[in-house]
């Protein structure tokens, strides 16, 4: 069987890569970051879906009419969410550097801090440096968006680079010391010199990039991707390609270039205007868009149909850690917040799960494309909240067309079936480091 041989090959690849120290360091970093992200996401779950005015549960349960002190609640949840959300990437830079330094038997804490600082220097808001305190609108000292989940990829890269370079530099200094016993260097010196060198390089890099893009290195990557991704037009293949690329980027930790934001695009507004006058979405002017395909049928739980992954784990996984992560992250996944699932399993940098993560949404888009072109379902036309449970998006977005609900259920089942063999494959992995 070709399929079986393929899976076996994939398994071997997984085993080999997990022995690389970089991969090990990344996995450790994600493992340590997971509980923090989980707490943050559960707070966001309440904040975004129950308290925010655009939240799904806020709207269906009319929270605004019966919850006393709504503004206070919002501010409290906002405060906590900002704190954790704001520094998650810095944390990951620290932990990645820390664990990589451990493999080199170097001073792990010092190297970790070095990585975190290096990551921060890349995200200093260089435009804000020149400003003196004149009051009024002050720019923030850091490019804050980059320190949250969307900075995870850069944090991992910086953590690995600085972890390696810092460890090597410190080792070199120690060797130098052994060779020249007279030339004594204290522990402080052994940390300070590599730190100075690393910061010099990253500051130079960050400053240079600030001339190119206001958002630092991260901003540059996101700008490029968003330009590519925001306007895939009407063509089915283009939409398919953009979604696949987007999912690969999520897998790498580049979270968020495409999100459920298609509600307000021109094509969606045209569809809405049409539906308002005709009473339904049948015959709407733009039936095939990223919004009507991807957002409606290929985004349950967030990028990569992670809601299907959770169900597949419930059905087929014998790994305790996987089952725990699935249970813990089910609620956030219900409202399309899947960062903790990606970090907790971890799905990020996991070669086995990459395949269904890209394949499941792609298959759903193709199925939805056929259903829409053959006029089996109407396109979604009414805006739905970002936190609407995935399988309900199409039903509510079409104004309650049962065929759209059936198609959603079919898409969910298909995705579970796609995830299932890969989840079973991971059953054989040694469960020595249980995540949760």
Under 8 Å between Cβ of 17 and 27: no
CB of 59 to other proteins, least distance (A): 6
Closest CA to 372 of 243, 248, 271: 271
CB of 64 to other proteins, least distance (A): 13
CB of 54 to other proteins, least distance (A): 12
Closest CA to 162 of 219, 220, 119: 119
Q: Which is nearer to other proteins, 166 or 262 (CB)?
A: 262
Q: Is the dihedral of CA 304, 343, 166, 148 positive or negative?
A: positive
Contact residues toward other proteins (CB under 8 A) are 56, 59-61, 266, 269, 272-277, 279, 382, 388-389, 392, 395-396, 399-400
Under 8 Å between Cβ of 404 and 397: yes
Q: Which is nearer to other proteins, 72 or 320 (CB)?
A: 320
CB of 273 to other proteins, least distance (A): 4
Under 8 Å between Cβ of 368 and 386: no
Q: Which is nearer to other proteins, 48 or 388 (CB)?
A: 388
Cα 286 to Cα 235: distance, rounded to the nearest angstrom: 11
Q: Which is nearer to other proteins, 9 or 233 (CB)?
A: 233
Q: Which is nearer to other proteins, 181 or 279 (CB)?
A: 279
CB of 421 to other proteins, least distance (A): 23
CB of 68 to other proteins, least distance (A): 21
Closest CA to 285 of 268, 297, 301: 268
CB atoms within 10 A of CB 56: 23
Q: Which is nearer to other proteins, 189 or 285 (CB)?
A: 285
Residue 124's DSSP bridge partners are 142
Q: Which is nearer to other proteins, 192 or 409 (CB)?
A: 409
Helix (H) or strand (E) holding 326, with range, is: helix 320-334
What tokens were used for 112?
Answer: 């970790």
Q: Which is nearer to other proteins, 13 or 273 (CB)?
A: 273
Residue 142's DSSP bridge partners are 124
- The CA-based angle 398-306-63, given to 5 degrees, is 55
What count of residues does the chain have?
436
CB-based contacts of 49-58 (< 8 A; 24+ apart in sequence): 49/335, 49/385, 49/387, 51/77, 52/387, 54/385, 54/386, 54/387, 55/385, 55/387, 56/335, 56/384, 56/385, 56/386, 56/387, 56/388, 56/389, 57/335, 57/387
CB of 268 to other proteins, least distance (A): 11
The DSSP 8-state label assigned to residue 140 in this structure reads P
Number of H helices, E strands in the chain: 19, 0
Q: Which is nearer to other proteins, 208 or 283 (CB)?
A: 283
Q: Which is nearer to other proteins, 224 or 285 (CB)?
A: 285
CB of 69 to other proteins, least distance (A): 23
Residue 96: CA count within 13 A, CB half-sphere: 29
CB of 286 to other proteins, least distance (A): 12
CB of 315 to other proteins, least distance (A): 11
CB of 402 to other proteins, least distance (A): 11
Q: Which is nearer to other proteins, 37 or 313 (CB)?
A: 313
CB of 396 to other proteins, least distance (A): 5
Q: Which is nearer to other proteins, 269 or 410 (CB)?
A: 269
- Residue 61 preceded by cis peptide, ω within 30: no
Q: Between the CA of residue 311 and those of 38, 56, 358, what are the distances in Å? A: 18, 22, 17
């Amino acid at each position: 069987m070709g399929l079986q041989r393929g899976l076996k090959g994939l398994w071997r690849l997984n085993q080999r890569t997990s022995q690389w120290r970089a991969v090990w360091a990344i996995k450790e970093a994600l493992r340590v970051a997971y509980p923090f992200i989980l707490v943050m996401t559960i707070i966001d779950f309440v904040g975004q879906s129950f308290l925010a005015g655009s939240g799904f549960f806020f709207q269906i349960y009319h929270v605004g009419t019966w919850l006393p002190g709504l503004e206070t609640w919002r501010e409290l949840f906002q405060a906590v969410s900002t704190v954790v959300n704001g520094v998650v990437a810095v944390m990951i830079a620290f932990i990645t550097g820390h664990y990589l330094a451990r493999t080199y038997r170097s001073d792990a804490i010092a190297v970790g801090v070095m990585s975190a600082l290096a990551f921060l220097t890349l995200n200093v808001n260089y435009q804000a440096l020149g400003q003196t305190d004149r009051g009024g609108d002050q720019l923030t000292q850091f490019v804050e968006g980059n320190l949250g989940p969307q900075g995870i990829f850069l944090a991992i890269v910086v953590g690995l680079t600085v972890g390696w370079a810092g460890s090597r530099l410190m080792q070199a200094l120690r060797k130098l010391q052994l060779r020249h016993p007279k030339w004594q260097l204290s522990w402080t010196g052994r940390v300070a010199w590599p730190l100075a060198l690393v910061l010099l390089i990253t500051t130079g890099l960050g400053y240079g990039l600030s001339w190119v893009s206001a958002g630092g290195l991260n901003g540059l990557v996101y700008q490029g991707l968003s330009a590519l991704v925001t306007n895939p037009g009407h063509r089915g293949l283009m939409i398919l390609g953009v979604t696949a690329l987007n999912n690969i980027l999520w897998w790498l930790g580049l979270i968020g270039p495409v999100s459920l934001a298609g509600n307000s695009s021109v094509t969606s507004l045209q569809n809405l205007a049409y539906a308002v006058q005709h009473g339904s979405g049948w015959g709407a002017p733009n039936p095939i868009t990223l919004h009507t395909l991807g957002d409606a049928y290929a985004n349950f739980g967030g990028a990569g149909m992670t809601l299907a992954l959770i169900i597949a784990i419930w059905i087929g996984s014998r790994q305790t850690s996987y089952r725990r992560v699935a249970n813990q992250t089910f609620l956030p996944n219900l409202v399309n917040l899947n960062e903790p699932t990606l970090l907790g399993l971890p799905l990020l940098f996991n070669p086995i799960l990459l395949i269904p993560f890209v394949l499941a949404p792609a298959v759903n888009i193709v199925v939805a494309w056929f259903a829409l072109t053959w006029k089996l379902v109407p396109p979604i036309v009414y805006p739905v909240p970002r936190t609407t449970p995935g399988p309900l998006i199409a039903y509510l977005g079409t104004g309650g067309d049962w065929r759209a609900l059936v198609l959603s259920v079919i898409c969910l089942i298909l995705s579970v079936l796609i995830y299932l063999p890969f989840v079973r494959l991971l059953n054989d992995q040694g469960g020595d480091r249980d995540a949760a």
